[in-house]
Amino acid sequence: MSSPPALSTELALKAFEADQVFCKALVAVQAAALCGADTPSLMAIANGEGFAWSFTGKWNDGSSLWLVKLHHVAGAEASAADVPTELVCEALLGLLGCAIAGGKPLALAATDEAGQPEAPEAAPEPEPEVDANPAPPAPEPAEPDPATPLSDEQKAVAVEMVKAMGSEQRKAFTISFRSAFSVPRSQVSIAPLITEIQHLHFIDRFTVEAAGGVSP
């Protein structure tokens, strides 16, 4: 079998130039698709870029199949054979490099009706777990009874705090302690009266405030 004769240099050059023009026109159509043009607009743009198309049908066992051809005025063409009727439009868009998905050109498949990119659905946030039987809140610690007796160690600490005061500070403390706890004048020493937690707290507050601090 003999091979077809090779194209002359002149014809090969014309075919190359036709392909270049064809590709340049495809670029314009595909750029429009990327910018959001719908299918009717793409067809109009393609026609304006020099494209034409034709459909040749054949019938086989009651079904119709089509040969879809895309022509360009420069002489180049492309085709898709045995295309079912319902896919003719898709085949033509495919020849233009704008295959469709979901009824829209591929460049538009991920855009909404306004031509804006559809925002991806946010992943549902996990619902916080709710304990069906929550533990009751811990009770706040109760204030100690002011009359709670001091331990021997606490008494010793309290007495040492009073002894550590200067003479003028100790004199002021004694007056304040007698006034706060209604100590009678007949009670010469107040040391034996330091027996309860409220007495230790009083000494502690007096010591802090005498040093210029602020007691709680």
- Reported for 179-182, long-range contacts at CB under 8 A and 24+ positions apart, including other chains, are none
Say what the pLDDT of residue 62 is: 65
Whether the CB-CB separation of 98 and 46 falls below 8 Å is answered with no
- Positions of the chain with pLDDT lower than 50, given as ranges: 102-103, 107-118
Q: Domain-by-domain residue ranges, the chain?
A: 9-108, 152-210
How do residues 153-198 score in pLDDT, each as one tens digit? Answer: 999 988 898 888 889 999 999 999 999 999 998 988 888 999 999 9
Say what the pLDDT of residue 108 is: 43
Q: In the structure encoding, which two tokens stand for residue 129, read together?
A: 């777990």
CA distances from 136 to 57, 58, 71, 183 (A): 81, 82, 81, 45
Model-level pTM? 0.40
Decide the pairing of beta strands 77-84 and 100-101.
unpaired
Say what the pLDDT of residue 116 is: 47
Say what the pLDDT of residue 69 is: 86
- For residues 179, 184, 186, 188, the Cα torsion angle rounded to the nearest 10 degrees is -40
Say what the pLDDT of residue 110 is: 40
- Comparing C-alpha atoms, which of 91, 70, 74 is closest to residue 82? 91
Say what the pLDDT of residue 182 is: 92
Say what the pLDDT of residue 5 is: 59
Say what the pLDDT of residue 77 is: 83
